[in-house]
Chain A
Amino acid sequence: MHALVIDDSRTMRRIVSSVLARVGFTCVEAEHGEEALAKLEDMTAAGTLPAIATIDWNMPVMNGLTFVTRVRADTRWRDVTLMMVTTESEHGQIVRALAAGAHEYVLKPFTAEDMISKLSMLGLVETSAEVMA
Protein backbone atom coordinates (compact mmCIF):
# COMPACT_ATOMS: atom_id res chain seq x y z
CA MET A 1 0.00 0.00 0.00
CA HIS A 2 1.19 3.47 -0.78
CA ALA A 3 1.03 6.69 1.15
CA LEU A 4 1.75 10.31 0.33
CA VAL A 5 3.30 12.26 3.21
CA ILE A 6 2.99 16.01 2.88
CA ASP A 7 4.76 18.38 5.29
CA ASP A 8 7.24 21.20 4.85
CA SER A 9 9.40 19.81 7.64
CA ARG A 10 11.71 17.03 6.60
CA THR A 11 11.87 15.83 10.19
CA MET A 12 8.10 15.54 10.37
CA ARG A 13 7.97 13.74 7.03
CA ARG A 14 10.49 11.23 8.38
CA ILE A 15 8.48 10.72 11.56
CA VAL A 16 5.20 10.17 9.71
CA SER A 17 6.82 7.96 7.08
CA SER A 18 8.40 5.76 9.70
CA VAL A 19 5.07 5.29 11.49
CA LEU A 20 3.35 4.41 8.23
CA ALA A 21 6.19 2.11 7.19
CA ARG A 22 5.72 0.20 10.44
CA VAL A 23 2.24 -0.79 9.32
CA GLY A 24 3.20 -1.63 5.79
CA PHE A 25 3.00 1.54 3.74
CA THR A 26 5.48 2.59 1.08
CA CYS A 27 5.78 6.35 1.41
CA VAL A 28 6.26 9.13 -1.09
CA GLU A 29 7.02 12.57 0.32
CA ALA A 30 6.13 16.09 -0.73
CA GLU A 31 7.05 19.46 0.76
CA HIS A 32 3.84 21.32 0.02
CA GLY A 33 0.47 20.99 -1.65
CA GLU A 34 1.63 21.81 -5.14
CA GLU A 35 4.43 19.26 -5.08
CA ALA A 36 1.97 16.78 -3.62
CA LEU A 37 -0.44 17.28 -6.51
CA ALA A 38 2.39 16.65 -8.93
CA LYS A 39 3.38 13.49 -7.06
CA LEU A 40 -0.25 12.40 -7.06
CA GLU A 41 -0.38 12.76 -10.83
CA ASP A 42 2.79 10.68 -11.16
CA MET A 43 1.43 8.01 -8.86
CA THR A 44 -1.85 7.91 -10.76
CA ALA A 45 0.00 7.42 -14.03
CA ALA A 46 2.17 4.71 -12.48
CA GLY A 47 -0.78 2.88 -11.00
CA THR A 48 0.41 3.40 -7.43
CA LEU A 49 -2.34 5.66 -6.20
CA PRO A 50 -1.86 6.18 -2.45
CA ALA A 51 -4.44 4.76 -0.10
CA ILE A 52 -3.81 7.71 2.18
CA ALA A 53 -2.28 11.16 2.16
CA THR A 54 -1.13 12.75 5.43
CA ILE A 55 -1.35 16.49 5.14
CA ASP A 56 0.14 19.32 7.13
CA TRP A 57 -1.88 22.53 7.08
CA ASN A 58 0.70 25.28 7.23
CA MET A 59 2.99 24.97 4.21
CA PRO A 60 4.49 27.40 1.72
CA VAL A 61 3.31 27.60 -1.92
CA MET A 62 0.11 25.63 -1.33
CA ASN A 63 -1.26 24.80 2.10
CA GLY A 64 -3.02 21.65 3.23
CA LEU A 65 -6.56 22.97 3.03
CA THR A 66 -6.15 23.99 -0.58
CA PHE A 67 -4.61 20.61 -1.37
CA VAL A 68 -7.59 18.83 0.17
CA THR A 69 -10.00 20.96 -1.83
CA ARG A 70 -8.14 20.24 -5.07
CA VAL A 71 -8.01 16.49 -4.45
CA ARG A 72 -11.70 16.28 -3.62
CA ALA A 73 -12.56 18.11 -6.79
CA ASP A 74 -10.91 15.39 -8.87
CA THR A 75 -12.90 12.18 -9.29
CA ARG A 76 -9.77 10.17 -10.06
CA TRP A 77 -8.68 10.65 -6.47
CA ARG A 78 -11.97 9.95 -4.79
CA ASP A 79 -10.59 6.87 -3.01
CA VAL A 80 -7.57 8.56 -1.48
CA THR A 81 -8.11 8.93 2.26
CA LEU A 82 -7.12 12.41 3.38
CA MET A 83 -5.79 12.79 6.90
CA MET A 84 -4.69 16.16 8.23
CA VAL A 85 -1.66 16.06 10.51
CA THR A 86 -1.23 19.51 11.95
CA THR A 87 -0.82 21.79 14.93
CA GLU A 88 -3.96 23.66 13.92
CA SER A 89 -6.44 22.80 16.64
CA GLU A 90 -9.02 25.54 16.51
CA HIS A 91 -12.47 23.94 16.50
CA GLY A 92 -13.67 25.99 13.55
CA GLN A 93 -10.58 25.14 11.55
CA ILE A 94 -11.00 21.41 12.10
CA VAL A 95 -14.62 21.72 10.97
CA ARG A 96 -13.40 23.62 7.92
CA ALA A 97 -10.93 20.88 7.01
CA LEU A 98 -13.51 18.13 7.40
CA ALA A 99 -16.03 20.15 5.41
CA ALA A 100 -13.46 20.58 2.65
CA GLY A 101 -13.23 16.82 2.45
CA ALA A 102 -10.57 15.66 4.88
CA HIS A 103 -11.53 12.30 6.36
CA GLU A 104 -9.52 12.44 9.54
CA TYR A 105 -7.48 14.81 11.64
CA VAL A 106 -4.43 14.14 13.79
CA LEU A 107 -3.21 16.87 16.12
CA LYS A 108 0.48 17.53 16.67
CA PRO A 109 2.08 16.36 18.86
CA PHE A 110 0.96 12.81 18.21
CA THR A 111 2.37 9.42 19.05
CA ALA A 112 2.80 6.51 16.68
CA GLU A 113 -0.10 4.79 18.44
CA ASP A 114 -2.36 7.80 17.85
CA MET A 115 -1.73 7.66 14.14
CA ILE A 116 -2.01 3.90 13.89
CA SER A 117 -5.26 4.02 15.84
CA LYS A 118 -6.69 6.50 13.32
CA LEU A 119 -5.52 4.33 10.42
CA SER A 120 -7.25 1.39 12.04
CA MET A 121 -10.47 3.36 12.42
CA LEU A 122 -10.25 4.17 8.73
CA GLY A 123 -9.91 0.48 7.95
CA LEU A 124 -6.43 0.91 6.53
CA VAL A 125 -4.62 -1.29 8.97
CA GLU A 126 -5.27 -4.16 11.34
CA THR A 127 -4.44 -3.22 14.90
CA SER A 128 -2.77 -5.86 16.94
CA ALA A 129 -0.69 -5.71 20.06
CA GLU A 130 2.46 -6.67 18.17
CA VAL A 131 2.34 -3.54 16.07
CA MET A 132 2.38 -1.40 19.20
CA ALA A 133 5.63 -2.88 20.50
Chain B
Amino acid sequence: MTVHAPESLTAKPTGMTEASTSWVRDMVRREASIVLDGKDYLIDSRLCELARRLGLSSAEEVARNAIRGDRSVMAGIVDALTTNETSWFRDGGPFEALRTTILPELIRARQSERSLRIWSAACSSGQEAYSVAMMCKKIVPPGWEIDILGTDLSRDILDRAKAGRYSQLEVNRGLPAPLLVQWMRRAGTEWEVIPELRQMVRWDWMNLAHPFPALGRFDIVLLRNVLIYFDTRTKTGVLDRTRAHLRSDGYLLLGGAETTVGLGDVWRREVVGTTPAWRINDAPGAHSGPIETGPSSRPAMTGPPRSASPVRSPSRPAHPPAPLGGR
Protein backbone atom coordinates (compact mmCIF):
# COMPACT_ATOMS: atom_id res chain seq x y z
CA MET B 1 0.00 0.00 0.00
CA THR B 2 1.61 3.20 -1.15
CA VAL B 3 0.99 6.29 0.90
CA HIS B 4 0.71 9.48 -1.08
CA ALA B 5 0.92 12.93 0.36
CA PRO B 6 -2.43 14.74 0.12
CA GLU B 7 -2.97 17.24 -2.68
CA SER B 8 -2.14 20.28 -0.61
CA LEU B 9 1.34 19.02 0.16
CA THR B 10 2.37 18.90 -3.46
CA ALA B 11 0.32 21.86 -4.67
CA LYS B 12 1.65 23.19 -7.91
CA PRO B 13 3.00 26.70 -7.71
CA THR B 14 1.70 29.05 -10.41
CA GLY B 15 3.75 29.36 -13.58
CA MET B 16 3.68 26.76 -16.28
CA THR B 17 0.80 25.83 -18.49
CA GLU B 18 -0.30 22.24 -18.91
CA ALA B 19 0.78 22.32 -22.53
CA SER B 20 4.27 23.52 -21.69
CA THR B 21 4.69 21.04 -18.87
CA SER B 22 3.53 18.29 -21.13
CA TRP B 23 5.97 19.37 -23.83
CA VAL B 24 8.85 19.41 -21.36
CA ARG B 25 7.93 15.97 -20.11
CA ASP B 26 7.90 14.57 -23.65
CA MET B 27 11.10 16.33 -24.58
CA VAL B 28 13.18 14.98 -21.72
CA ARG B 29 11.80 11.54 -22.34
CA ARG B 30 12.90 11.82 -25.94
CA GLU B 31 16.26 13.44 -25.33
CA ALA B 32 17.40 11.70 -22.19
CA SER B 33 14.93 8.87 -21.60
CA ILE B 34 13.89 10.42 -18.32
CA VAL B 35 10.34 9.76 -17.23
CA LEU B 36 8.72 12.54 -15.23
CA ASP B 37 5.11 11.48 -14.92
CA GLY B 38 3.51 12.91 -11.83
CA LYS B 39 6.48 15.17 -11.17
CA ASP B 40 5.03 18.42 -12.47
CA TYR B 41 6.03 20.23 -9.32
CA LEU B 42 9.66 19.33 -9.91
CA ILE B 43 9.53 20.49 -13.53
CA ASP B 44 8.06 23.77 -12.38
CA SER B 45 10.56 24.42 -9.62
CA ARG B 46 13.63 23.39 -11.60
CA LEU B 47 12.60 25.52 -14.55
CA CYS B 48 12.01 28.43 -12.20
CA GLU B 49 15.60 28.07 -11.00
CA LEU B 50 16.75 27.83 -14.61
CA ALA B 51 14.78 30.97 -15.46
CA ARG B 52 16.65 32.86 -12.77
CA ARG B 53 19.97 31.62 -14.05
CA LEU B 54 19.15 32.47 -17.66
CA GLY B 55 17.70 35.85 -16.76
CA LEU B 56 14.24 34.90 -18.04
CA SER B 57 11.07 35.93 -16.30
CA SER B 58 9.46 32.59 -15.57
CA ALA B 59 9.49 28.83 -15.95
CA GLU B 60 6.88 29.25 -18.68
CA GLU B 61 9.20 31.55 -20.62
CA VAL B 62 11.98 28.99 -20.38
CA ALA B 63 9.65 26.34 -21.76
CA ARG B 64 8.45 28.61 -24.57
CA ASN B 65 12.04 29.35 -25.61
CA ALA B 66 12.75 25.65 -25.77
CA ILE B 67 9.55 24.95 -27.68
CA ARG B 68 10.54 27.63 -30.19
CA GLY B 69 13.67 25.62 -30.85
CA ASP B 70 16.38 27.16 -28.66
CA ARG B 71 18.62 24.15 -28.37
CA SER B 72 20.73 25.41 -25.55
CA VAL B 73 17.67 26.16 -23.45
CA MET B 74 16.50 22.64 -24.21
CA ALA B 75 19.81 21.29 -23.03
CA GLY B 76 19.52 23.49 -19.96
CA ILE B 77 16.13 21.99 -19.19
CA VAL B 78 17.41 18.44 -19.60
CA ASP B 79 20.36 19.28 -17.41
CA ALA B 80 18.17 20.86 -14.73
CA LEU B 81 15.95 17.80 -14.65
CA THR B 82 18.61 15.14 -14.85
CA THR B 83 19.59 13.53 -11.63
CA ASN B 84 23.33 13.02 -11.65
CA GLU B 85 23.40 10.10 -9.30
CA THR B 86 27.13 9.73 -9.26
CA SER B 87 28.58 13.04 -10.18
CA TRP B 88 31.71 11.88 -8.41
CA PHE B 89 33.33 9.09 -10.38
CA ARG B 90 30.22 9.05 -12.52
CA ASP B 91 29.28 5.61 -13.85
CA GLY B 92 32.31 4.06 -12.20
CA GLY B 93 33.61 2.21 -15.26
CA PRO B 94 35.57 5.05 -16.89
CA PHE B 95 37.41 5.77 -13.67
CA GLU B 96 38.24 2.11 -13.21
CA ALA B 97 39.56 2.23 -16.76
CA LEU B 98 41.68 5.25 -15.87
CA ARG B 99 43.00 3.52 -12.79
CA THR B 100 43.78 0.11 -14.22
CA THR B 101 44.79 0.85 -17.78
CA ILE B 102 44.69 4.33 -19.22
CA LEU B 103 46.76 6.18 -16.64
CA PRO B 104 49.38 3.44 -16.21
CA GLU B 105 49.77 3.22 -19.98
CA LEU B 106 50.15 6.96 -20.39
CA ILE B 107 52.58 7.08 -17.49
CA ARG B 108 54.74 4.58 -19.33
CA ALA B 109 54.41 6.49 -22.60
CA ARG B 110 55.27 9.85 -21.05
CA GLN B 111 58.31 8.76 -19.04
CA SER B 112 60.52 11.38 -20.64
CA GLU B 113 58.00 14.23 -20.34
CA ARG B 114 56.74 13.36 -16.86
CA SER B 115 53.61 15.36 -17.50
CA LEU B 116 49.95 14.65 -18.24
CA ARG B 117 47.27 16.95 -19.58
CA ILE B 118 43.63 16.10 -19.06
CA TRP B 119 40.51 17.95 -20.17
CA SER B 120 37.11 17.67 -18.57
CA ALA B 121 34.86 19.22 -21.21
CA ALA B 122 31.40 20.38 -20.08
CA CYS B 123 32.70 20.04 -16.56
CA SER B 124 29.60 21.41 -14.85
CA SER B 125 30.13 21.90 -11.10
CA GLY B 126 33.50 20.22 -11.25
CA GLN B 127 33.07 16.83 -9.64
CA GLU B 128 34.41 15.04 -12.71
CA ALA B 129 37.58 17.11 -12.83
CA TYR B 130 38.18 16.71 -9.11
CA SER B 131 37.50 12.97 -9.38
CA VAL B 132 40.15 12.78 -12.09
CA ALA B 133 42.50 14.77 -9.88
CA MET B 134 41.97 12.34 -7.01
CA MET B 135 42.65 9.43 -9.34
CA CYS B 136 45.85 11.06 -10.55
CA LYS B 137 47.03 11.65 -7.00
CA LYS B 138 46.59 7.95 -6.39
CA ILE B 139 48.23 6.65 -9.57
CA VAL B 140 50.64 9.17 -11.01
CA PRO B 141 54.12 9.13 -9.46
CA PRO B 142 55.14 12.19 -7.43
CA GLY B 143 57.07 14.84 -9.27
CA TRP B 144 54.97 14.64 -12.41
CA GLU B 145 53.20 17.70 -13.69
CA ILE B 146 49.46 17.14 -13.91
CA ASP B 147 47.43 19.75 -15.70
CA ILE B 148 43.66 19.35 -15.57
CA LEU B 149 41.40 21.73 -17.44
CA GLY B 150 37.69 22.02 -16.78
CA THR B 151 35.53 23.97 -19.22
CA ASP B 152 31.86 24.77 -19.35
CA LEU B 153 29.35 27.08 -20.97
CA SER B 154 28.07 28.54 -17.73
CA ARG B 155 30.20 31.04 -15.85
CA ASP B 156 28.12 30.51 -12.72
CA ILE B 157 28.82 26.85 -12.71
CA LEU B 158 32.51 27.45 -13.32
CA ASP B 159 32.57 29.67 -10.25
CA ARG B 160 31.04 26.83 -8.29
CA ALA B 161 33.58 24.39 -9.66
CA LYS B 162 36.46 26.70 -8.83
CA ALA B 163 35.22 27.12 -5.27
CA GLY B 164 35.15 23.35 -4.86
CA ARG B 165 32.30 23.49 -2.35
CA TYR B 166 29.65 20.84 -2.27
CA SER B 167 26.62 20.12 -0.15
CA GLN B 168 26.48 17.18 2.18
CA LEU B 169 23.98 15.55 -0.19
CA GLU B 170 26.40 15.92 -3.08
CA VAL B 171 29.37 14.37 -1.27
CA ASN B 172 27.16 11.54 -0.05
CA ARG B 173 26.85 10.11 -3.51
CA GLY B 174 29.56 8.28 -5.41
CA LEU B 175 32.49 9.57 -3.39
CA PRO B 176 34.31 6.88 -1.41
CA ALA B 177 34.57 7.91 2.23
CA PRO B 178 38.39 7.54 2.34
CA LEU B 179 38.64 10.02 -0.53
CA LEU B 180 36.16 12.35 1.13
CA VAL B 181 38.28 12.63 4.25
CA GLN B 182 41.52 12.78 2.33
CA TRP B 183 40.57 15.51 -0.10
CA MET B 184 37.79 17.50 1.55
CA ARG B 185 37.07 19.37 4.76
CA ARG B 186 33.85 20.62 6.27
CA ALA B 187 32.93 24.24 5.65
CA GLY B 188 29.71 25.18 7.43
CA THR B 189 26.95 22.96 6.09
CA GLU B 190 29.12 22.13 3.09
CA TRP B 191 32.33 20.33 2.23
CA GLU B 192 35.25 21.96 0.45
CA VAL B 193 37.99 20.44 -1.64
CA ILE B 194 41.36 21.11 -0.01
CA PRO B 195 43.76 23.54 -1.74
CA GLU B 196 46.26 20.82 -2.66
CA LEU B 197 43.68 19.21 -4.93
CA ARG B 198 41.97 22.40 -6.05
CA GLN B 199 45.20 23.74 -7.42
CA MET B 200 45.51 20.79 -9.81
CA VAL B 201 42.58 22.06 -11.85
CA ARG B 202 42.12 25.23 -13.82
CA TRP B 203 38.78 26.36 -15.14
CA ASP B 204 37.76 28.21 -18.28
CA TRP B 205 34.63 29.26 -20.11
CA MET B 206 34.15 27.55 -23.44
CA ASN B 207 31.46 26.82 -25.97
CA LEU B 208 32.15 23.46 -27.56
CA ALA B 209 29.92 24.29 -30.53
CA HIS B 210 32.27 27.09 -31.54
CA PRO B 211 35.91 27.00 -32.69
CA PHE B 212 38.18 26.04 -29.82
CA PRO B 213 40.76 28.45 -28.41
CA ALA B 214 44.40 27.36 -28.42
CA LEU B 215 44.22 24.44 -26.04
CA GLY B 216 47.22 22.38 -27.00
CA ARG B 217 46.95 18.63 -27.02
CA PHE B 218 45.62 16.48 -24.23
CA ASP B 219 46.45 12.98 -23.15
CA ILE B 220 42.91 12.34 -21.95
CA VAL B 221 39.68 14.10 -22.85
CA LEU B 222 36.45 13.48 -20.96
CA LEU B 223 33.51 14.58 -23.05
CA ARG B 224 30.76 12.85 -21.20
CA ASN B 225 27.03 13.27 -21.58
CA VAL B 226 27.19 16.47 -23.58
CA LEU B 227 27.20 15.28 -27.20
CA ILE B 228 23.66 14.04 -26.76
CA TYR B 229 22.49 17.64 -26.74
CA PHE B 230 23.92 18.37 -30.16
CA ASP B 231 22.60 17.63 -33.59
CA THR B 232 24.75 15.46 -35.85
CA ARG B 233 26.44 18.35 -37.61
CA THR B 234 27.48 20.06 -34.41
CA LYS B 235 28.51 16.75 -32.90
CA THR B 236 30.79 16.04 -35.86
CA GLY B 237 32.33 19.47 -35.49
CA VAL B 238 32.94 19.01 -31.77
CA LEU B 239 34.52 15.62 -32.28
CA ASP B 240 36.70 16.88 -35.14
CA ARG B 241 37.93 19.76 -33.04
CA THR B 242 38.49 17.44 -30.09
CA ARG B 243 40.51 15.08 -32.21
CA ALA B 244 42.75 17.97 -33.18
CA HIS B 245 43.46 18.54 -29.50
CA LEU B 246 44.17 14.96 -28.54
CA ARG B 247 47.61 13.38 -28.54
CA SER B 248 47.92 10.66 -31.17
CA ASP B 249 48.01 8.01 -28.44
CA GLY B 250 45.54 9.81 -26.21
CA TYR B 251 42.14 8.66 -24.98
CA LEU B 252 38.68 10.14 -25.42
CA LEU B 253 36.02 9.09 -22.92
CA LEU B 254 32.35 9.66 -23.73
CA GLY B 255 29.22 9.10 -21.66
CA GLY B 256 27.67 5.69 -21.12
CA ALA B 257 25.57 5.28 -24.23
CA GLU B 258 27.42 7.70 -26.45
CA THR B 259 29.46 6.63 -29.44
CA THR B 260 31.16 8.18 -32.43
CA VAL B 261 29.45 5.69 -34.71
CA GLY B 262 28.22 7.20 -37.93
CA LEU B 263 30.78 9.97 -37.71
CA GLY B 264 33.50 8.60 -39.89
CA ASP B 265 36.22 6.14 -39.10
CA VAL B 266 38.82 8.52 -37.73
CA TRP B 267 38.03 7.17 -34.32
CA ARG B 268 38.89 3.68 -33.19
CA ARG B 269 36.87 2.10 -30.43
CA GLU B 270 38.78 0.25 -27.75
CA VAL B 271 37.20 -1.48 -24.80
CA VAL B 272 39.05 -1.04 -21.52
CA GLY B 273 37.58 -3.51 -19.07
CA THR B 274 33.92 -2.84 -19.68
CA THR B 275 34.39 0.78 -20.71
CA PRO B 276 34.55 1.95 -24.30
CA ALA B 277 37.28 4.45 -25.00
CA TRP B 278 38.04 6.23 -28.25
CA ARG B 279 41.46 6.51 -29.84
CA ILE B 280 42.57 8.33 -32.91
CA ASN B 281 42.52 6.13 -35.94
CA ASP B 282 45.13 7.50 -38.32
CA ALA B 283 45.13 4.57 -40.68
CA PRO B 284 45.43 5.73 -44.28
CA GLY B 285 42.07 6.47 -45.89
CA ALA B 286 40.30 7.20 -42.64
CA HIS B 287 37.92 10.09 -43.01
CA SER B 288 35.54 11.98 -40.84
CA GLY B 289 31.93 12.98 -41.41
CA PRO B 290 28.84 10.81 -41.59
CA ILE B 291 29.25 7.70 -43.71
CA GLU B 292 26.49 6.89 -46.14
CA THR B 293 26.71 3.18 -45.76
CA GLY B 294 24.31 0.30 -45.46
CA PRO B 295 23.21 -1.28 -42.23
CA SER B 296 25.95 -1.62 -39.73
CA SER B 297 26.28 -4.34 -37.15
CA ARG B 298 27.00 -1.76 -34.51
CA PRO B 299 24.10 -0.25 -32.57
CA ALA B 300 22.92 3.19 -33.61
CA MET B 301 23.56 6.09 -31.27
CA THR B 302 20.51 6.10 -29.12
CA GLY B 303 19.58 5.85 -25.59
CA PRO B 304 20.00 7.79 -22.45
CA PRO B 305 23.10 8.68 -20.59
CA ARG B 306 23.63 5.50 -18.66
CA SER B 307 22.74 6.96 -15.35
CA ALA B 308 19.52 8.64 -16.39
CA SER B 309 16.69 7.87 -14.06
CA PRO B 310 13.39 9.35 -12.99
CA VAL B 311 13.98 12.37 -10.87
CA ARG B 312 13.39 11.09 -7.39
CA SER B 313 15.45 13.03 -4.97
CA PRO B 314 17.14 16.39 -4.77
CA SER B 315 20.55 16.27 -6.34
CA ARG B 316 21.09 19.95 -6.48
CA PRO B 317 22.86 21.92 -3.80
CA ALA B 318 20.82 21.60 -0.68
CA HIS B 319 19.07 24.93 -0.85
CA PRO B 320 15.31 24.85 -0.57
CA PRO B 321 13.48 26.08 -3.62
CA ALA B 322 12.82 29.75 -3.20
CA PRO B 323 9.18 30.69 -2.70
CA LEU B 324 7.55 30.59 -6.10
CA GLY B 325 5.06 33.21 -7.14
CA GLY B 326 2.23 33.61 -4.70
CA ARG B 327 3.60 31.56 -1.84
A residues with CB within 8 A of B: 89-91, 94-95, 98, 102-107, 109-114, 117, 120-121, 127, 129, 132-133
Contacts and interface: CB of A to CB of B under 8 A. Distances in A.
Nearest to A133: B310
B4 to A, nearest CB: 17
Contacts, number: 62
11 contacts: A91-B181, A91-B186, A94-B177, A98-B181, A105-B177, A107-B171, A109-B169, A111-B172, A113-B83, A114-B169, A121-B92
B86 to A, nearest CB: 5
Contacts of A98: 177-178, 181
Given A89-B186, A107-B168, A117 B178 contact: no
B85 interface: yes
Contact of B173 (A91, A104, A117): A117
A110 B239 CA distance: 38
A120 B92 contact: yes
Given A90-B186, A98-B178, A129-B304, A110 B172 contact: yes
A114 B172 contact: yes
Given A104-B176, A111-B313, A117 B86 contact: yes
B274 to A, nearest CB: 11
Contacts of B102: none
A133 B309 CA distance: 7
A11 to B, nearest CB: 14
B176 A107 contact: no
A64 to B, nearest CB: 14
B311 to A, nearest CB: 10
Contact of A121 (B169, B174, B185): B174
B306 interface: yes
A113 B177 contact: no
Contacts of A90: 186
A114 B171 CA distance: 9
A91 B177 contact: no
A18 to B, nearest CB: 13
B186 A95 contact: no
A115 B186 CA distance: 21
A59 to B, nearest CB: 20
A29 B185 CA distance: 33
B85 A121 contact: no
A113 B308 contact: no
Interface residues of B, number: 26
Contacts of B172: 106-107, 110-111, 114
B310 A132 contact: yes
B2 to A, nearest CB: 13
B185 A91 contact: yes
Contacts of A117: 85-86, 173-174
A109 B180 CA distance: 17
Contact of B176 (A89, A114, A121): A121
Interface string B292-325: 0000000000001011111011000000000000
Contacts of A102: 177
A111 to B, nearest CB: 4
Given A91-B181, A111-B313, 14 more contacts: A90-B186, A94-B177, A95-B181, A98-B177, A98-B181, A103-B177, A110-B172, A111-B312, A113-B85, A117-B174, A120-B92, A132-B310, A132-B312, A133-B310
The 7 A-B residue pairs with the shortest CB-CB distance in the complex, in nearest-first order: A132-B309, A105-B177, A111-B313, A114-B172, A114-B173, A107-B172, A113-B85
A83 to B, nearest CB: 9
Contacts of A95: 181
A112 B314 CA distance: 12
Contacts of B308: 129
A113 B314 CA distance: 11
Contacts of A114: 169, 172-173
B313 to A, nearest CB: 4
B196 to A, nearest CB: 15
A103 B178 CA distance: 8
Which has the most chain B C-beta neighbours within 10 Å: A89, A109, A114, A120? A114
A132 B174 CA distance: 14
A98 B179 CA distance: 11
